[in-house]
């Protein structure tokens, strides 16, 4: 499910219904998700409140009057509000207020909750929505990189927030083939990639994100971006620009979609 746009939609949904009053209790239903849960610190949220929730890349940051936590949704993690709690399979955390509950559910448990560390983002790249992306910062720095641009975009150390779907969409719009070596990119290519990164992600946010299978946001609504994908999942379907059949290849064990005619 969640790449940057989906996480942004989740954040907005959480902020809309977030109670301002004190937390009555935090229940945890298991010791770990992808990583061990900070059980002690979560329990200490009792009588504290959540000040706000922010986002950086695919991370949510829960800022409380006690301490800060980060929430990563992995593949299938999601948060939901319920005024009366109805337990569901794969519920792992329940934050309880007087008249509201916030529940974290994650079937595959690839997501995680951790104590926020101040230098967490030190080793990560810029966020395309929160930060300024400039070609002049990428072009000289990665002039010798032997990796391909698709793999590069997925690496959160380079740029935050791009996942498998939007990497294909961004490269299609930028007219760059996914297997192109990063060292072969010209300044102009970087400009296209970074501009399209911002455009594609912003469009996805405007449309409420992409919904595959049963993904829904905090309020239970589906996004609409999946109806605007130009290449992702479009194998053998004519390219929207030139009518050449869209190809699907595996790069770093993940499927990539592109137009061999439009993308060079």
Whichever of 48 and 90 has its CB closer to DNA, that residue is 90
Residue 126 tokens, joined: 């810029």
Binding flag, residue 5, DNA (CB under 7 A): no
Closest Cα partner for 158 from 115, 197, 188?
197
The residue from 213, 227, 236, 264 that contacts DNA (CB under 7 A) is: 213
Beta bridge partners of 80: 103
| Residue 254 annotated in active site | yes
For residues 103 and 91, the answer to whether their CB atoms sit within 8 Å is yes
CB of 122 to DNA, least distance (A): 13
Q: Which of 55, 58, 80, 234 is catalytic?
A: 58
Binding flag, residue 214, DNA (CB under 7 A): yes
In the shown chain, the binding pattern of residues 38 to 67 toward DNA, with x for contact by CB under 7 A and - for none, equals -------------------xx---------
d(CA 94, CA 106): 12
d(CA 169, CA 257): 8
| Residue 58 annotated in active site | yes
Beta bridge partners of 28: 93
Residue 137, classed as helix, strand or coil, is helix
Classify residue 123 as exposed, middle or buried by CB count within 10 Å of its CB (0-12, 13-18, 19+): exposed
The residue from 64, 105, 197, 211 that contacts DNA (CB under 7 A) is: 211
Closest Cα partner for 153 from 167, 141, 134, 140?
167
d(CA 232, CA 226): 9
User: Taking CB under 7 A as the criterion, which residues in 222-261 touch DNA?
Assistant: 251-255
User: Taking CB under 7 A as the criterion, which residues in 175-204 touch DNA?
Assistant: 182
46's torsion region: left (phi>0), alpha (psi -120 to 50) or beta? beta
Whichever of 96 and 151 has its CB closer to DNA, that residue is 151
205's torsion region: left (phi>0), alpha (psi -120 to 50) or beta? alpha
Q: Which of 109, 175, 216, 254 is catalytic?
A: 254
Q: Which of 2, 5, 126, 128 is catalytic?
A: 2
The residue from 100, 197, 210, 217 that contacts DNA (CB under 7 A) is: 210
User: Taking CB under 7 A as the criterion, which residues in 92-151 touch DNA?
Assistant: 107-110, 145-148, 151
Whichever of 14 and 201 has its CB closer to DNA, that residue is 201
Question: What residues make contact with DNA under the rule CB under 7 A?
Answer: 1-3, 6, 34, 57-58, 74-75, 89-90, 107-110, 145-148, 151, 154, 156, 163-165, 182, 210-215, 251-255
The residues annotated with a catalytic role in the active site are: 2-3, 58, 254
């Amino acid at each position: 499910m969640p790449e940057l746009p989906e996480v942004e939609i989740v954040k907005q949904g959480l902020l809309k219904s977030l109670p301002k009053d004190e937390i009555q209790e935090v229940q945890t239903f298991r010791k770990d998700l992808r990583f061990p849960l900070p059980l002690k610190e979560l329990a200490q949220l009792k009588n504290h409140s959540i000040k706000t929730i922010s986002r950086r890349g695919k991370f949510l940051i829960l800022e409380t009057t006690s301490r800060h936590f980060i929430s990563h949704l992995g593949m299938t993690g999601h948060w939901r509000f319920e005024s009366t709690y109805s337990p569901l399979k794969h519920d792992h955390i329940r934050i309880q207020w007087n008249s509201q509950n916030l529940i974290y559910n994650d079937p595959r448990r690839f997501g995680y909750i951790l104590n926020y560390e101040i230098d967490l983002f030190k080793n990560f790249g810029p966020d395309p929505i929160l930060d300024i992306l400039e070609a002049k910062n990428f072009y000289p720095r990665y002039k010798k990189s032997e990796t391909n641009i698709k793999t590069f975009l997925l690496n959160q150390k380079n740029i935050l927030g791009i996942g498998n779907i939007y990497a294909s969409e961004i490269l299609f719009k930028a007219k760059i083939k996914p297997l192109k070596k990063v060292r072969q990119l010209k300044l102009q290519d970087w400009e296209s990639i970074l501009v399209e990164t911002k455009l594609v992600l912003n469009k996805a946010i405007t449309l409420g994100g992409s919904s595959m299978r049963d993904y829904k946001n905090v309020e239970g609504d589906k996004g609409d971006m999946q109806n605007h994908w130009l290449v992702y999942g479009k194998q053998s379907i004519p390219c929207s620009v030139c009518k050449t059949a869209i190809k699907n290849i595996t790069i770093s064990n993940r499927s990539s979609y592109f137009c061999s005619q439009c993308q060079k």
